[in-house]
């Protein structure tokens, strides 16, 4: 192992030491090559999008909860989208739903989550100076930025942004005659997503090569924190699935602009027979969900990785079943590629496929259950410290379980017949994917804020934020199960046209009120976040008494992360409350860079033999340091 690391470190690009870089504002903060700055850029952009995405949800929740309300007061913001009668325009309603989904899934929970924490944490936790390619890393952010700008512009088109649902199924998404959002709005959506996919791929390649090549001396894969495992696996999933979305989008562009018939056939729309023939709308769905389902795990795995770290640290206990956690993540990653058609049980595809995909889908419950049990057992007989990050992590486990369990119902094709495209599905994925990932992201921000900005966030505000958000998320999404069981279809502008949807008007009102409350509670966070950057208490070096390498850097790590040589790793990242650690002069944790020779009292049987290898690792580290470019 060590020779591999040695080999790789020799070829590592010019690394830097404590030497200060005197770039200007533009190179330090805008076109920065530093992974920490890029991570923060992703975070800020993600937060901006979260506000827009959350705001959109409030607009359509107003419509759903208070269909009689006069919305004229929204005219200053929405202009022509509010009709003369003070109602929300029906097509804008669909556009709002579509953009809410697109923004939340891709811009907030993919770029905002993976982009932020993979960038920020990978080099810090594996003991690297920076990413494998700083330039590609910068490119990744700026592609995302261009993508964001284009998507943002589409919000202001006269014909509105894309409005055919975030899954953009053709023919609806291909025919401007069918819905105005499929005109320029859809074009910009597709262009924006092409940039987004490019950004994800460039980022992903970078994460993967960094994890493989730039681990510090001693940091074998079996000593990687679970966060890194999660980011690594996520990047691989993205690398394999995003190109398929690209292909799907490209063929859609051809159908829309060049008259091909990949997805279109036998269509008579707006009084006119189209010349497209021989295409299949189902083909698009297969391609889309080949990304779309792994995407769920692209969103979720980083959140689970962050949570593993936070729960272990704040339980003052090793994560339970480290290997089982990695194994289940690998299992989930593999299975995520072969379950996509469970989104299509009633799409008209061959029912035999339905049987196969039901079987594969329900298998995924097993590794997911293992993860949940491992989290709970990590807390068992722990010594729990409730930092805001810990609260959000426990919240994540709860949401992951509640939302995951209803997946067992929806994954069963016979039951999906009734529930497909009802609010039951909305409840399910907002809990397991939306809220759970969001909670993981929040846990990450609270936990690593001190490392990002050198200051502490206010804990009390964090507590209030957590309880408001946690209770709020359940108040919004739990009642949707009832609405779904009653058969309410999703993406309905109003429920007045059907007898079977006359009930639950009060519950819909309740959900909307809860949504307004929950989104407002996020302003508390925004305040705490921004205010603490400038006015927060200065952070100690290791505020959570954590074992991982990022806490061995200076309070505000400079370019290159560690002044002097890179730390050497001797042990796994979960030596919390190890028996004998006090006698060794440590409190209830032993950082990864403490050699076993320094902790004779706490070493386990198998670890004594590792002492002999320490000299070798130190020599390797010294050689790496010597070979670094110190200028």
Partner 1 sequence: MQVLLVITGSILTVAVLGLLYRIITLVGIAKGDSQKRVGTSNKINAFLFPLVLLVGLGATAWYSGIAKEYFLPEASSIHGVKTDELFWLTMSVIGVAFLLTHLLLFFFPLIYQYNEKRKANFYAHNDKLELVWTAIPAMVMTVLVIYGWQLWSDITAPAAEDAVKVEIMGKQFAWELRYPGADKELGAYDVKYVDGINSMGIDFNDAQAMDDFTYREIVIPKGREVELRIRALDVIHSVFMPHFRVKMDAVPGMPTRFKFTPTKTTAEMRAELGNDKFNYELACTEICGKGHFGMRKIIKVVEPAEYESWVAEQTAWSKQNADYMSSTWAEKHAKTKLAKK
Residue 586 sits in the site that holds partner 1 (CB under 8 A)? no
Residue ranges in 589-628 that form contacts with partner 1 under rule CB under 8 A? none
Residue 317 sits in the site that holds partner 1 (CB under 8 A)? yes
Residue 397 sits in the site that holds partner 1 (CB under 8 A)? yes
Q: What DSSP character marks residue 269?
A: E
Q: Is there a contact between 410 and 493 (Cβ–Cβ < 8 Å)? A: no
Residue 574 sits in the site that holds partner 1 (CB under 8 A)? yes
Nearest to 439 by CA among 387, 386, 396: 396
- Is residue 62 exposed (0-12), middle (13-18) or buried (19+ Cβ within 10 Å)? middle
Q: Is there a contact between 309 and 447 (Cβ–Cβ < 8 Å)? A: yes
Q: What DSSP character marks residue 539?
A: P
CB 316 to partner 1: min, Å: 4
CB 416 to partner 1: min, Å: 8
Query: Segment near partner 1 (CB under 8 A), from 134-142, 143-151, 274-282, 429-437?
Result: 274-282
Residue 426 sits in the site that holds partner 1 (CB under 8 A)? no
Half-sphere exposure of 86 (CA within 13 A, CB side): 8
- Residue 349, by phi and psi: left (phi above 0), alpha (psi -120 to 50) or beta? beta
Nearest to 164 by CA among 143, 138, 145, 187: 187
Query: Contact with partner 1 (CB under 8 A): which of 123, 171, 238, 450?
Result: 171
Residue 27 sits in the site that holds partner 1 (CB under 8 A)? no
Phi, then psi, of 573 in degrees rounded to 5: -85, 15
Residue ranges in 510-549 that form contacts with partner 1 under rule CB under 8 A? 524, 527-528, 531, 535, 537
Compute CA distances 108 → 318, 422, 544, whole Å: 30, 24, 27
Residue 469 sits in the site that holds partner 1 (CB under 8 A)? no
CB 144 to partner 1: min, Å: 27
CB 294 to partner 1: min, Å: 21
CB 2 to partner 1: min, Å: 24
Q: By rule CB under 8 A, what count of residues binds partner 1?
A: 125
Residue 112 or 165 having the CB closest to partner 1: 165
Residue 405 sits in the site that holds partner 1 (CB under 8 A)? yes
Nearest to 108 by CA among 75, 74, 84, 144: 144
Q: What DSSP character marks residue 486?
A: T
CB 116 to partner 1: min, Å: 24
CB 122 to partner 1: min, Å: 24
CB 148 to partner 1: min, Å: 25
What number of residues does the chain have? 631
Query: Contact with partner 1 (CB under 8 A): which of 117, 262, 320, 525?
Result: 320
Measured distance CA(145)–CA(141) in Å, rounded: 6
Residue 418 sits in the site that holds partner 1 (CB under 8 A)? yes
Residue 489 sits in the site that holds partner 1 (CB under 8 A)? yes
Residue corresponding to tokens 């942004």: 161
- Reading the block at residue 525, the tokens are 């966070």
Measured distance CA(65)–CA(618) in Å, rounded: 64
Nearest to 564 by CA among 551, 553, 575, 577: 553
Residue 186 sits in the site that holds partner 1 (CB under 8 A)? no
Query: Segment near partner 1 (CB under 8 A), from 154-162, 164-172, 294-302, 561-569?
Result: 164-172
- Reading the block at residue 379, the tokens are 């807390």
Residue 120 or 439 having the CB closest to partner 1: 439
- Reading the block at residue 17, the tokens are 């030491």
Phi, then psi, of 179 in degrees rounded to 5: -160, 130
Query: Segment near partner 1 (CB under 8 A), from 121-129, 232-240, 498-506, 605-613?
Result: 498-506
Compute CA distances 577 → 104, 375, 382, 545, 569, whole Å: 39, 17, 9, 11, 19
Residue 122 or 370 having the CB closest to partner 1: 370
Residue 184 or 624 having the CB closest to partner 1: 184
Residue 467 sits in the site that holds partner 1 (CB under 8 A)? yes
Residue 243 or 489 having the CB closest to partner 1: 489
Query: Segment near partner 1 (CB under 8 A), from 23-31, 224-232, 344-352, 511-519?
Result: 344-352
- Mask: binding to partner 1, 363-382, rule CB under 8 A, as x and -? x-xx--xx-xxxxxx-xxxx
Query: Contact with partner 1 (CB under 8 A): which of 72, 83, 90, 220?
Result: 90
Peptide bond just before 278 cis, omega within 30 deg: no
Query: Contact with partner 1 (CB under 8 A): which of 19, 383, 608, 630?
Result: 383
Residue 180 or 204 having the CB closest to partner 1: 180
Query: Contact with partner 1 (CB under 8 A): which of 134, 318, 560, 591?
Result: 318
Q: How far apart are the first and last CA of the chain?
A: 30
Residue 12 sits in the site that holds partner 1 (CB under 8 A)? no
Sign of the alpha-carbon torsion through 489, 491, 497, 502? positive
Query: Contact with partner 1 (CB under 8 A): which of 31, 468, 491, 614?
Result: 491
Residue 392 sits in the site that holds partner 1 (CB under 8 A)? no
Q: Is there a contact between 311 and 541 (Cβ–Cβ < 8 Å)? A: no
Q: Is there a contact between 607 and 578 (Cβ–Cβ < 8 Å)? A: no
Nearest to 155 by CA among 197, 86, 109, 107: 107
Query: Contact with partner 1 (CB under 8 A): which of 142, 145, 482, 517?
Result: 482
Residue ranges in 104-143 that form contacts with partner 1 under rule CB under 8 A? none
Residue 154 or 508 having the CB closest to partner 1: 508
Query: Contact with partner 1 (CB under 8 A): which of 69, 239, 247, 461?
Result: 461
- Mask: binding to partner 1, 48-77, rule CB under 8 A, as x and -? -------------------------x--x-
Query: Contact with partner 1 (CB under 8 A): which of 499, 564, 606, 631?
Result: 499
- Is residue 364 exposed (0-12), middle (13-18) or buried (19+ Cβ within 10 Å)? buried
Measured distance CA(19)–CA(563) in Å, rounded: 8
Residue 397 or 442 having the CB closest to partner 1: 397
């Amino acid at each position: 192992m060590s020779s591999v690391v040695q080999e790789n470190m020799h070829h590592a690009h010019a690394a830097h030491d404590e030497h200060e870089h005197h770039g200007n504002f533009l190179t330090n903060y805008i076109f920065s090559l530093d992974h920490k700055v890029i991570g923060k850029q992703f975070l800020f952009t993600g937060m901006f999008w979260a506000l827009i995405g959350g705001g959109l949800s409030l607009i359509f929740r107003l419509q759903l909860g208070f269909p009689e309300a006069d919305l004229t007061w929204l005219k200053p913001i929405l202009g022509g989208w509010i009709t003369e009668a003070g109602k929300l325009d029906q097509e804008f309603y669909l556009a709002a739903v579509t953009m809410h989904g697109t923004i939340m899934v891709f811009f907030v929970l993919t770029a905002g989550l993976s982009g932020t924490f993979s960038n920020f944490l990978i080099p810090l936790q594996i003991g690297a100076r920076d990413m494998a390619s700083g330039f590609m890393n910068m490119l990744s952010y700026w592609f995302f930025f261009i993508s964001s700008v284009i998507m943002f512009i589409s919000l202001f088109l006269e014909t509105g942004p894309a409005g055919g649902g975030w899954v953009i199924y053709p023919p609806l998404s291909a025919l401007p005659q069918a819905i105005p959002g499929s005109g320029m709005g859809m074009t910009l959506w597709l262009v924006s997503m092409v940039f987004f996919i490019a950004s994800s791929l460039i980022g992903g390649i970078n994460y993967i090569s960094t994890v493989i090549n730039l681990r510090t001396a001693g940091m074998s894969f079996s000593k990687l924190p679970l966060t890194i495992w999660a980011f690594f696996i996520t990047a691989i999933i993205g690398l394999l699935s995003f190109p398929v979305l690209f292909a799907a989008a490209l063929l859609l562009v051809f159908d829309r602009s060049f008259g091909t018939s990949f997805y279109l056939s036998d269509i008579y729309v707006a009084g006119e027979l189209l010349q497209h023939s021989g295409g299949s709308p189902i083909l698009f769905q297969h391609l889309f969900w080949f990304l779309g389902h792994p995407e769920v795990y692209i969103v979720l795995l980083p959140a689970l990785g962050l949570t593993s770290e936070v729960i272990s640290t704040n339980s003052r206990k090793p994560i339970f079943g480290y290997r089982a956690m990695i194994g289940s993540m690998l299992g989930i990653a593999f299975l995520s590629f072969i379950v996509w058609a469970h989104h299509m049980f009633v799409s008209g595809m061959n029912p035999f496929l339905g049987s196969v995909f039901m079987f594969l889908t329900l298998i995924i419950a097993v590794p997911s259950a293992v993860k949940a049990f491992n989290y709970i057992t990590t807390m068992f007989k722990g010594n729990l410290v409730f930092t805001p990050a810990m609260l959000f992590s426990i919240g994540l486990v709860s949401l992951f379980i509640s939302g995951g369990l209803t997946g067992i119902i929806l994954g069963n094709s016979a039951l999906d017949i009734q529930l497909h495209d009802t609010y039951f599905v909305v409840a399910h994925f907002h809990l397991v994917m939306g809220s759970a990932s969001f909670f993981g992201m929040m846990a990450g921000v609270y936990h690593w804020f001190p490392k990002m900005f050198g200051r502490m966030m206010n804990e009390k505000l964090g507590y209030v934020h957590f309880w408001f958000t946690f209770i709020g998320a359940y108040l919004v999404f739990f009642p949707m199960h009832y609405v779904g069981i009653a058969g309410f279809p999703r993406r309905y502008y109003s429920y007045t046209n059907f007898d079977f949807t006359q009930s639950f008007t009060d519950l819909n009102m309740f959900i909307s009120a809860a949504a307004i409350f929950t989104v407002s509670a996020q302003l508390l966070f925004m305040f705490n976040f921004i205010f603490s950057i400038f006015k927060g208490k200065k952070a100690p070096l290791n505020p959570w008494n954590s074992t991982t390498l990022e806490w061995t850097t200076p309070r505000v790590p400079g370019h290159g992360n560690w002044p002097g040589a890179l730390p050497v790793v001797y042990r796994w990242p979960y030596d919390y409350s190890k028996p004998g650690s006090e006698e060794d002069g440590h409190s209830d944790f032993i950082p990864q860079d403490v050699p076993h020779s320094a902790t004779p009292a706490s070493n386990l049987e198998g670890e004594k033999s590792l002492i002999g290898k320490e000299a070798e690792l130190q020599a390797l580290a010294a050689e790496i340091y010597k070979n670094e470019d110190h200028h």
